[in-house]
Structure 1
Amino acid sequence: MTTTIRIALAGNPNTGKSTLFNALTGENQHVGNWPGKTVAQKRGWFIYQGVRFEVLDLPGTYSLSAYSPDEQVARDYIVREQPHVVVNVLDATNLERNLYLTAQIMETGAQLLLVLNMQDLAARRGYKVDAEKLAHLLGGVPVVTTAAAREEGLDALREALYQMAQHLSPLPDLFSGESREDNHAQGAIFGPHCH
């Protein structure tokens, strides 16, 4: 049986999130609409080290406040569907604006991995983001740097996702369709050790 890890890509518009989605999933994707919405839904997958990662490209949003259909879809998926990992894609050239959404995602308790995308553009503009320091300031949240348009940093991202998947609790129970609360009650361990 192949293990499947559900990944949600979340981020502000124009952070390169969809470019990252395409780089990770290649031709293995499906585009449709969210049930009852006119908002597009993009799903894809890739396999790394024998683990199948199902990737969902959430609509670009600045906030998880439900003011627009895009924000509602992103919030509902992160909070209700509880993906195994939320990959928050940030524009390394405009970090401050992007961190508001990061803080909101952290408040949901989701397993979080940050991707500092457009690192190449940031460097050309003279910006240097210290990924290790950012990870430390955010309580140990893993941080990976990428330039998705140039497909740089993708191997490091896949490896970080794989490492996070190794720390998720008993995988057969994880995919039975039960909620995290039900799994936790049965002794599964979800928590900050994955950060």
Structure 2
Amino acid sequence: MKACCEESQALRGDYALTIAIAGNPNCGKSALFNAFTGIRQRTGNWPGVTVDRKEGQFELEQYKVRLIDLPGIYSLDASSMDEEITRDYLLSREADLIINVVDAANLERNLYFV
């Protein structure tokens, strides 16, 4: 079991944790990413602003955390290239934790993805 854990740590590089940010388009995923990483990822009040996977990092106490900002997606039935990027990443299980950001003003639609 110890060898398994050591191999897993080696695959991560210097990061203690990888967190993916997922959710519907235009719900605040990139704003959350910017707040944690200090990177000024472009944001906008319309869907489709993030069309590629973006990576950043931040420190939590003494640990380095890798943060992944994924394009918006309504379901795992991808109908566009940016939705495929998100679906494939989520199904790859590369992330240790997935934060599903929802827009409280459109809660019913956002919870469909949950």
Determine if the TM-score, normalized by the shorter chain, exceeds 0.5.
Answer: yes
Is contact 2:15-2:66 (8 Å) kept?
Answer: no
Percent sequence identity is 49
CA shift in 2, pair 1:3/1:45, >3 Å: closer
Distance 2:72 2:55 in 1: 14
- C-alpha RMSD of matched pairs (Å): 2.0
Distance 1:28 1:12 in 2: 20
Q: Which residue in the other structure is 1:54 paired with? A: 66
How far is 1:6 from its partner? 0.7
Distance 2:88 2:107 in 1: 24
The one-letter code matched in structure 1 to 2:85 is V
Q: 1:40-89: per-residue Cα shift (whole Å, max 9, x none)? A: 22110100111211011000111111221122111110111431000000
The one-letter code matched in structure 1 to 2:23 is G
* Equivalent runs, 1:79-158 vs 2, <5 Å: 79-102=91-114
User: As a proportion of its length, which structure holds more helix?
Assistant: 1
4+ residue runs of structure 1 moved beyond 3 angstroms? none
* Partner secondary structure for residue 76 of structure 2: coil
Matched, 1:42 2:54: yes
Is contact 1:28-1:45 (8 Å) kept?
Answer: no
Matched, 1:10 2:53: no
The one-letter code matched in structure 1 to 2:78 is A
TM-score by length of 1: 0.44
Give the total of aligned pairs: 93
TM-score by length of 2: 0.73
If asked which structure has higher relative contact order (CA below 8 Å, sep 6+), I would say 2
* Partner secondary structure for residue 113 of structure 2: helix
Which residue of the other structure, out of 31, 34, 41, is the alignment partner of 1:19? Answer: 31
* Partner secondary structure for residue 73 of structure 2: coil
Which protein shows a greater Rg? 1
For structure 1, which runs of at least 5 residues remain unmatched after alignment?
30-38, 103-195
Matched, 1:68 2:89: no
